[in-house]
Amino acid sequence: MRIFSGSRIFLLLSITALLAVVSCQAVPAGPQIVYRDVWGPTSPKSVANGAVYLVIENKGSEADRLIGASSPVAETVELHEHFNEDGVMKMRPMDGLDIPAKGTRMLKPGGYHIMLIGLLEPLEAGNTISVTLMFEKSGEIALEAEIREL
């Protein structure tokens, strides 16, 4: 009888533990990066630079940071921001871009952008290019950017 009740307690414990593990997996800790609207404008032939824009969303409960990017279509890829200071547009390279927990960052013309420097060929409408983003915690995320007219 005592043995039986002991195994019952063990069973109950096992189920509880299993449930805890399952619920833990349903709401993972850490950042959870999703992205959408990845695109880049067409580039004039004489210009060896381009840009990629997208919306980055962090559905997780922990902040992450975009720390770099690469693409097979450009020699160098940098993170840049544009800002307006008394009507003067200034562009600056950035070390990284924080993506807050439960937050969204829009990379769009006139603001943050991924800059492609030294394009190996012009970006033409209808094509897609590969871009890999590097995040501090989430690691590398590969994505495809659609090229279209600005």
User: Contact between 1 and other proteins (CB under 8 A)?
Assistant: no
In whole angstroms, how close is the CB of 84 to other proteins at the nearest point? 6
User: Contact between 84 and other proteins (CB under 8 A)?
Assistant: yes
User: Contact between 82 and other proteins (CB under 8 A)?
Assistant: yes
Residues in the chain: 150
Q: In 10 A of CB 134, how many CB atoms?
A: 16
Could you please report the per-residue DSSP string of 88-110?
EEEEEE-S-EEE-TT-EEEE-TT
In whole angstroms, how close is the CB of 51 to other proteins at the nearest point? 4
Residues from 102 through 121 that contact other proteins (CB under 8 A):
109-110, 113, 115-118
Residues from 2 through 31 that contact other proteins (CB under 8 A):
none
User: Contact between 125 and other proteins (CB under 8 A)?
Assistant: no
Interacting residue with other proteins among 1, 23, 29, 90 (CB under 8 A): 90
Interacting residue with other proteins among 9, 15, 17, 47 (CB under 8 A): 47
CA distance readout (Å), 44 to 41, 119, 145, 150:
10, 11, 17, 12
Report the alpha-carbon distance of residue 144 to residue 126 in Å, rounded: 12
Residue 85, exposed/middle/buried by CB under 10 A (0-12, 13-18, 19+)?
exposed
User: Contact between 46 and other proteins (CB under 8 A)?
Assistant: yes
Report the alpha-carbon distance of residue 107 to residue 56 in Å, rounded: 8
| Residue 82 identity (one-letter amino acid) | H
Contacts to other proteins by CB under 8 A: 41-47, 49-51, 75-76, 78, 80, 82, 84, 87-93, 109-110, 113, 115-118, 149-150
